[in-house]
Structure 1
Amino acid sequence: MVKDQKKPKASERREDILVLLKNSEKPITGSELAAEMEVSRQVIVGDVSLLKAKNEPIVATSQGYIYMMDRIDTPPVERTIAVKHTPDQTEKELTILVDHGVFIKDVTVEHPVYGDLTASVLVWNRRDVQKFLDNIRETKASFLSELTDGIHMHTVAAESEEALDEAVEALKKEGILLKS
């Protein structure tokens, strides 16, 4: 940045963030946005929170921020499934789902104080599964399911009920599906 050049105002920076997110084919991390805008990652977190508060459809994923408007064409058949497993079984759970052509939209846990806590997962394939798990390991983050002894729900989607049924049956065989 040239010394005499002024940094953009916060409102201009947020507009620039929106443009970048809207035009990106892939998620953009907070660190990448921070480098581009020449601010800290924490400033970006605040900017994104303010944009979300203005109803901008920005989603924070394990791979970075994405702008959701017309971005992800989710499969037509959607369902919520309840599962229970240890953190070590997460890769198996996610891989079973994506191998059956299932898109994992989000994860929800029921917290005793806050009620339902939902976070975007947005995993389509094995590559996404690995990126998700790598991000968990690199950041030393916990899985939401660790708050609830492994019990959690996923919103999942597929091209057909049959694909979802087959995926659920595979989870059941592995002992991951929560028994009713």
Structure 2
Amino acid sequence: MSHQKKVLGEERRAMLLEILRSSSEPITGSELAKQANVSRQVIVGDISLLKAKQEPIIATSQGYMYLNDSNNVNQVERTIVSYHTADQTEAELNLLVDHGVIIKDVSVEHPVYGDLTASLHISNRKEVKQFIKQIQSNQATYLLELTGGIHMHTIVATNEQMLDEAVEALDQQGYIVRS
């Protein structure tokens, strides 16, 4: 931490909200901590308090985002059911972003916990690579590994045709589960 003064309590949380609201990109907890001159753990606590006050903040693999209603103007979304191995995750995600689709989240139906959903908000190959690197460097497992490869994604695009083309590309690779 630098020699600048720490931003305290409610003032800090108001500052965090302003930073997140004004950004169209995710911001890491470390970056927020640097701006507030506090530890990342303090930021984690602040974000939890803000979420408890119903602020629409999500944690993605790239950082925190404030979900503005204006972010969703002229967008359509669809939930798809996918099946593949963990080793095929990068290929699946790249196929989606290559079709101009944003991968909003991934979810699985766990036999004990029920629905488990993780926010992703991945929109390009760089973000795919960062996500895969985070999984590997943390020795984490993909949610699909809890369900033998079956998982769901909420995907977002500016029109239905983009979603259709992305799903068709996944289907050609054998990644789509049909009912």
TM-score, normalised by the number of residues in structure 1: 0.87
Distance 1:32 1:16 in 2: 13
Percent identity of equivalent pairs: 58
Aligned 1:12-161 pairs, distance under 5 A: 12-70=11-69, 72-73=71-72, 76-161=75-160
Distance 1:76 1:26 in 2: 17
Displacement of 1:136 after TM fit?
2.2
Displacement of 1:120 after TM fit?
1.1
Q: What letter is aligned with 2:78?
A: R
Contact 2:107 2:153 in 1 (8 A): yes
Q: Is there any run of 5+ residues in structure 2 with no aligned partner, and where? A: none
Distance 1:124 1:75 in 2: 16
Q: Is there any run of 5+ residues in structure 1 with no aligned partner, and where? A: none
Displacement of 1:118 after TM fit?
1.2
Partner of residue 171, structure 1: 170
Structure 1's 75 and 95: CA in aligned 2 closer, same or farther, altered over 3 A?
Answer: farther
Displacement of 1:88 after TM fit?
1.0
Displacement of 1:159 after TM fit?
3.0
Contact 2:7 2:37 in 1 (8 A): no
Q: What letter is aligned with 2:136?
A: R
Matched residue count: 178
Distance 1:31 1:71 in 2: 26
For the residue of structure 2 that corresponds to 1:141, the secondary structure is coil
Indicate the larger mover: 14-23 or 53-62: 14-23
Q: What is the alpha-carbon root mean square deviation over aligned residues?
A: 2.1
Distance 2:168 2:7 in 1: 54
Structure 1's 8 and 168: CA in aligned 2 closer, same or farther, altered over 3 A?
Answer: closer
Distance 1:130 1:74 in 2: 27
Deviations along 1:127-165, one digit per CA (max 9) or x if unpaired, are 222222222223333222122122110111223333222
Structure 1's 59 and 141: CA in aligned 2 closer, same or farther, altered over 3 A?
Answer: same
Deviations along 1:9-31, one digit per CA (max 9) or x if unpaired, are 32222112112212234221111
TM-score, normalised by the number of residues in structure 2: 0.87
